[in-house]
Structure 1
Amino acid sequence: MKPILIFMISLGIFASACDVAVNVQFPHFKDSSILTGTEPLPEWTQRKIEGVYQVTDGSDAFGTKVVLKWTGAGLSVFSEKNAAYLVLDCGRDGADIHLEGYWRYARNVETGLVRLMIGSEDGGSDLLADTTTISEIIISGQYGNGDENPRHDLKLSYLRPFSEKVDQDKFYIIAHRGGGRTADYLPASENSLEVIKLASQLGANAIEIDVKLSKDGVPFIYHDKTINLRLVRKTTILGYIEAFTFPQIRSLLTLVNGEKIPTLREALEFVLTQSAIEVVWLDM
């Protein structure tokens, strides 16, 4: 079992805010996945594909340079322009590498689909070989807007690996509320199991989660003191959430993106068994 660090803090900080409802529809491919029949990438390929890349096609959308980082669940791409990121699943077919997923601007709600490929002659063979040799990596394909099929050219050319300091120094990027706030319009609700998985894809290797205690003594993950429509769907119960038993909380409350409120045990077990998270900060 992997080790994780757990920190606990008790804070008396409270805030209230008004949030305008925004309906963010995360895109989905309507046709068959290009990853059907592919095999997972070897660990050495995951390491070698990381680094800094030049955007040779698609810079209007994603800027001139991006960073590629393997997150444990797949490959993520980060850009300074509009705080853009791409979350990609990957697979190999012979000496070709296929990548498929979605992009999003963190500063607004624009999003779309992405399909990319590293051909055998564009670095695929070198990446899949268990050696340190990389002559050139060119990642090419298309991105789209919303649910439309990708049709705008996107090409990334490998510039350099990460610096020795970045590659070897140990530091933590801690994701707030398990991986992101509900107000960030992510595809998963804050403090849910699903957002913990997303935290790794967004570049975090640590998370902060908010812990409450139910009336019957079960620690669970939830931020606000009260039951409210910022965090949960319309329900038949209101008031202080800690005034209810956990069976009531589990059966009567649903988070805004459809998930159930997890217990602290469920969250920590998920971190240990299904995520790349290394540190957990408990806000109690």
Structure 2
Amino acid sequence: MGLASQTGASLLESLKKGEELFSAELRPPRAHSPGLQSMDDWIDTYHSIRRLNVAGFHVFITDNAVGRAEEENLRHLVTNLGPDARRSHIIPFLTSKHPLDYCLRYAERAYEQGFRTLVVVGGDRHDGIPRCVEHAIQLRRIIRRSVPSLILGGWANPHADLSEQTDYLMRGREETDFFLTQVVSHHDAEAVERFLELIGRRGIEIPGIFGVFYYRSARKSSLDTLRRFFPVPVREIEKEFEVEELRADDVCARTIRKLRRLGVRRFYVSNLPVADAAARLQTITGLAAEGEGGG
């Protein structure tokens, strides 16, 4: 594992302790929104981050996720966060879909502004925007040389070729302090189990945080859109919402319970409603702790 400064590195410290960890992934407002709308959206996002921080959760902030242009996360975080914000608990994403000079300056700015951790990934390829490097490992390596005290997170996809995914983790272990996974579901348990087994066999000790998607409904148009970016168990999700009449919180908690049974202890929940993300996440963690017969 790559060496990094521990100053303010509460995420990495938590990961090294091996304790159960819950976090949230939020998206910045859409780029090119009208001025007042953009301002209102960022106010909502800021309050959501603050509430998640107060509740003790780490927050990941995306960079043009799911093929959607977003306003630059770092600029707005710096502008809107108050001086008492726990920046050690706020982790921006940086994709390689920017010029290399921009990426290096972004990393420097992040560190200068008190953000000690970045997740550096390739980014979705669906929008056709070229990457400044072939693989995000290369960008993390360059950033590690330029800003050696930054804690750097990587990426792995349990839905993809597992040999290739673990190869990436092995190759990047000197510049990857932790990794996030593509979102998975309790319906993907076999893929997750194979991924965990291969990580164990190859002796990969980089701590991972597993993604759990918060499905808000079984609306076909929404699920079809999501399927462009990651595997979606459409029929199973429809059954849970429409036949079992589960709530969105229950479906999310069901995934966490299943992953726990496989040995996963670290999670980030994606697609939480911004307005009440902290309350949703607290509810989900409570439901997951209660257990569910057969769930």
Q: Report the TM-score range of the alignment, normalised by the length of the smaller protein.
A: under 0.3
Tell me which protein shows more helix as a share of its residues. Answer: 2
Bigger relative contact order (CA 8 A; separation at least 6): 2
Q: Give the number of the structure whose alpha-carbon radius of gyration is greater.
A: 1
